[in-house]
Every structure is written in C-alpha cells, then in structure tokens.
Structure 1
Amino acid sequence: MSAKAHYHDFCRVAPDVPVFAQPWYLDACASGGDWDVVLAHDQGRIVAALPYFYRRKGPFRYATMPPFVKMLGPYVLPEFRGVLKKEHGLLEELIKQLPDFAAFKQNFYPTLTNWLPFYWQGFRQTTYYTYRLYDLQSLALVEARLNRNIRRNIQKAQQQVRVVHDLSTEQFYQLNKMSFDRQGLPMPYSWAQFERHDAALAAHGARQLFFAIDAQERIHSAAYLIWDQQAAYYHLSGDDPALRESGAGILLIWEAIRYASEVLGLTCFDFEGSMLPPVERIRVQFGAVQTPYFFVWKYYSRAFELLEKLRR
C-alpha cells in the first residue's frame, strides 16, 4: 500500500484530524499540483503524519499551501502531544522522510505547539494568529461577550434582511468575488476550483451556506461555513459593496456561530485569521480569543529563493 492509502485508513480512526488534512479535502483542493504524505510509526502503528501539497515551477518542485487550506502541518495522535521526547522523535522521523524540495512552506495547526525539531533541521518560523470562540456549548455566554457595536450591527441588519441557506453556489461565488474586486485583488481561485471544493464538502456533509437577502431579494452578504468534529470554520465570505452599510456581514457571522452551536453541537468556532487590523478588530469584538499558529518554512535551493524574492 502507498503512504496515501495508509493515510486514508489512519484518518478513519484518528480522533481529531482537521478537515483541512482529510484525504478527500486535499484531493479536492490539489488543483495546480498534487499532495502526498509521510508517516511516523510507534510499535508498528501509524501515530503521526505530515501531509503536504507541492507544485512545480520550471525545474523546481516546492511544497506550499493549496487553495482553501488554511492549516496543514504535522498531525500527532493526542496521546503523544506534549510528551516531548516522543514527540521530538516522531517529528524528526517525518522531517527525514520529506522528499527533495526547492522550498517547504506550511501553516501548522494551532494544536501543534512544538516546532523545535524543525528548528534543529534549519527551518524558520513566524507566528500567525487565528481567532477562536471556545465555549459554544453556552451560546448565552458567547452572546453576553459581544461588543455593543456588534450587537448594534446585528440588530440593524435584522431589520433589513433575512437569512436563508437555499441560494446557489454560483451566487455565493459571485458575491465572494465582489469582495476581492472591491479591494482591487485578483480572485485567488477559479469557479472550477471552488465548484470542486464545494462538491467535496457537500458530499461529506461538512458545509453550510448563509445568505442575507432583503425584501427586494437583493443579496447583501454571503458566508460559507465548514466544520470537522472539533470546530467550525468561518471559511469564506462576500458582500455586495453597494449594500455593505446594512451590517449583514456581521449578522451572518453571528448566524454561523449560532449554527455551529445549536445545529452542529460544536464547542469551537474558528475565524481562520486574520492578521489584518480591521478584520482582527471585528474578531475581538465577537469575544474571540487570539490563538497562535506557526508558519514554518525552509529554502533548500538558493536559486529558488532568489527567484521568489525577485517575483516579490
């Protein structure tokens, strides 16, 4: 059996592999490249895994983050986390098995707090932050922590729009694209990529769409929630620039939080970042906790590193 096949079996029994690292999710997101995995064993069983996505640029092959994958990195079974001697050995085993790359770049899961074996092997690290609500089992407590500006925006939006789930993915994509257009940014994924991504999540019952529409059936805002057994993730969103004053985007965040709590029964809501000051302020106003995760990288090829610097 290939490492991928073993990894498929491992993910069926491992208790908390994030949705971003599930084989079916990586299959759907691997356009423009491919993914593979290295595995570490203890007493004959797989106890750690490091999936990675790679692309080619000319003669170079490099590992990076695929579209729609916020976090990846090593996964270690809970029983070995924090047991430093054992955890070090497992991470070292994974690193040694990585193929030859011009560069390796990954965002690690927040649950992985030990990147020391990567440091020993010449990798570098920058700390990023996501924002999380950890106590969704008490929605009343979450609501009590909302900033008054957030409360005001929710009440304002509720007077102008209603929330529905049954509009099309094409309509979501167009609204999502409007947000990038408003900022003068290129759309980071095509409709075909999004459609493939959405189909995989829908097939596994791991996504819900939210739309805020008014009495004229205009869509003010849209949100895309995904989840695994541990958390719900505020994955994608979009607003009509002409209708942003309604506060519908804030309302949809709250509706997604409610859905994660009341429908999914989850205890954690992850905003998936961001490091941008205006976005960070909104996350904090929802009462979210700043949660660090590691961006870890290494250049194996000096020529590839120079090429990337020139492109920037």
Structure 2
Amino acid sequence: MSASDEYRDFCRTAPDVPVFAQPWYLDACAEGGAWDVVLAHDNGRVVGALPYFHKRKGPFRYVTMPSFVKMLGPYLLPEFRGVLKKEHGLLEELIRQLPAFAAFKQNFYPTVTNWLPFYWQSFRQTTYYTYRLNGLHQLAQIEAGINRNLRRNIQKAQQQVRVVHHLPPEEFYRLNKLSFDRQGLAVPYSWAQFARHDAALAAHGARQFFFAVDAQERVHSAALLIWDQQAAYYHLSGDDPALRESGAGILLVWEAIRYASEVLGLACFDFEGSMLPAVERIRVQFGAVQTPYFFVWKYNSRAFKLLEKLKP
C-alpha cells in the first residue's frame, strides 16, 4: 500500500483531520502539481502524517501551498500531542522521510504549537495570524460582542438585501472575480479550478454559499463557507464594486457565523486569517480572537532561492 493510500485509510478514522488536509480536498486542489504524504508510526499503526503539495519550476521540485489550501503541516493523533518527548520523536520521523526538495514552504495549522524539531533541522518560521470566534454555542454572547457600528451596518444591510443560498457556483465566481478586478489583481485560480474545488466540497457536504440579493435581483455580495468537524472557515468572498455601500458583505459574515452555530452546531468560526490592517480591523470588530499559526520554510537550493528573489 502506498503512503497516500495508507493516509486515506487513516483519515477515515482520525478524529480531527482538518478539511484542508483531507485526501479528497487535496485531490481537488492539486492543480499544477501533486500531493503526497509521509507517515509516522507507533507500534505498527499510523499515528501522524505530514501531507505536502509539490510543483516543478525548471529542474527544481519544491513544496508549496496549493490554491484553496490555507493550512497544512504535521498532524498527530490527539493522544500523542503535548507529551514533548513523544511528539518530538514523531515529528522527527516525519521530517526524515521528506524527499529532497529545492524548497519547503507550508502554513501549519493553528493547533500545531511545536515546530522545534523543524528548527533543529534548519527550517525557519514566521508567525502569521488568523482570527477565530470560539464558543459559537453561545451565539447571543457572540452577537453582543460585535462592535456597535458593525451591528448598525448589519441592520442597515438587512433592510436592503435578503440572503439566499441557491444561486449557482458560476455566480459566486463572478462576484469573487469582481473583487480581484477592483484591486487590479488577477484571480489566482481559473473557473475550472474553482469548479473542481467546489464540486469536491459539495460532494462531501462541506460547503454553503451565501448571496445578498436586493429587490431588483441584483447580487451585492457573495461568500463561501466551508467546514470540518472542528471549525467553519470563511473561505472566499466577493462584492459587486458598484453595490458595496449596502454593507451586504458584513451581513454575510454574520449570516455565516449564525449558520456555523445554528445549522452546523460547530464551536469555532475561523476567518482564515489576514495580515492586512483593514481586514484585521473588521475581524476584531466581530469579536474574533487573534490566533497565531506558523509559516515554516527551508531552502535546500541556493540557485532556487536566487530564482525566487528574481521573480516579479
């Protein structure tokens, strides 16, 4: 049995593998490269895994983050977390099995708090932040913690638009692309990539669209919520630049939070980060808690590192 097949079996029983690391999710996101995995064992059974996505640039093969995958990194079964001697041994086993790459770059899950074995092997780390609302079962308390001005914006938007879920993925992609166009940026994934990603999520019952529509049937904003057994993730969104004054985008955030609590019964809502000041302010105004996660990297090829520095 290959490591990837063994990993598929492992994920069927492991209690809290994040959606980003599920084999079916990686299958759908591996555009332009391929994913693989190394495994750690204890008494003959798999107890840890490190999935990774790799691509080629000329003669170089390197590990990076694929589109739609916010976090990866090492995963250990709960009973092997927190006992440092055991944890170190399993992480070292995973690192030893990694094949030779020109570079390694991954965002680890926020639940990974120990990257020391990677440091011992000359990896480097930068701390990034996501923003999380915990305790969603106390939704009234979450609502009370929202900034007063933000609550007024939500109420204003509710008077102008209604929230629906039935519009097609093509409509979401259109709104998502408009947001990139407004910033003068190219969409980092094609429609075909997005459609494949969405189909996988839909097949596994792990996504919901939110659309804010006015009385003239104009779509002001759209959002995509995805989830696993531990958390819901505010995955992607988009706005019509001509209709942003309605505040529909803020309303959709609140509707996604409500959905995560009332429909999904989850305890955690993850905004999927942002290091941008303007975005960070909105996350905090919703009462979200700044939550660190590790970006871990290593260059094994000086030539590839130079090539990376020279790219636009």
Structure 2-normalised TM-score?
A: 1.00
Deviation at 1:82, TM superposition (A): 1.0
Which residue pairs with 1:5 in the alignment?
5
Deviation at 1:80, TM superposition (A): 1.0
Q: Deviations over 1:202-232 (max 9, x none)?
A: 0000000000000000000000000000000
How many residues matched?
A: 312
Q: 2: distance between equivalents of 1:179 and 1:300? A: 37
Which residue pairs with 1:97 in the alignment?
97
Which residue pairs with 2:297 in the alignment?
297
Q: 1: distance between equivalents of 2:15 and 2:149? A: 38
The amino acid across from 1:199 in the alignment is: A
Determine if the alignment matches structure 1 residue 201 to structure 2 residue 198.
Answer: no
Q: 2: distance between equivalents of 1:214 and 1:10? A: 46
Deviation at 1:8, TM superposition (A): 0.3
The amino acid across from 1:39 in the alignment is: L
Q: 1: distance between equivalents of 2:38 and 2:85? A: 20
Unaligned ranges ≥5, structure 1: none
Which residue pairs with 1:170 in the alignment?
170
**SS of structure 2 residue aligned to 1:70:** coil
**SS of structure 2 residue aligned to 1:193:** helix
Which residue pairs with 1:70 in the alignment?
70
Q: 2: distance between equivalents of 1:197 and 1:8? A: 18
Q: Deviations over 1:225-255 (max 9, x none)?
A: 0000000000000000000010000000000
Which residue pairs with 2:120 in the alignment?
120
Determine if the alignment matches structure 1 residue 155 to structure 2 residue 155.
Answer: yes
Q: Deviations over 1:7-62 (max 9, x none)?
A: 00000010000000000000000010000000000111111000000000000000
Deviation at 1:105, TM superposition (A): 0.2
Structure 1-normalised TM-score?
A: 1.00
**SS of structure 2 residue aligned to 1:266:** coil
Deviation at 1:200, TM superposition (A): 0.2
Which residue pairs with 1:138 in the alignment?
138
Which residue pairs with 1:47 in the alignment?
47
Unaligned ranges ≥5, structure 2: none
Which residue pairs with 1:34 in the alignment?
34
**SS of structure 2 residue aligned to 1:229:** coil
The amino acid across from 1:265 in the alignment is: G
The amino acid across from 1:161 in the alignment is: V
Q: Deviations over 1:176-216 (max 9, x none)?
A: 00000101111000000000000000000000000000000
**SS of structure 2 residue aligned to 1:38:** strand
Determine if the alignment matches structure 1 residue 286 to structure 2 residue 286.
Answer: yes
**SS of structure 1 residue aligned to 2:136:** coil
The amino acid across from 1:96 in the alignment is: R
Q: 2: distance between equivalents of 1:215 and 1:91? A: 55
**SS of structure 2 residue aligned to 1:112:** coil
**SS of structure 2 residue aligned to 1:140:** helix
Q: 1: distance between equivalents of 2:197 and 2:153? A: 31
**SS of structure 2 residue aligned to 1:104:** strand
Q: 1: distance between equivalents of 2:99 and 2:28? A: 22
Q: 1: distance between equivalents of 2:38 and 2:67? A: 21
Which residue pairs with 2:60 in the alignment?
60
The amino acid across from 2:29 in the alignment is: C
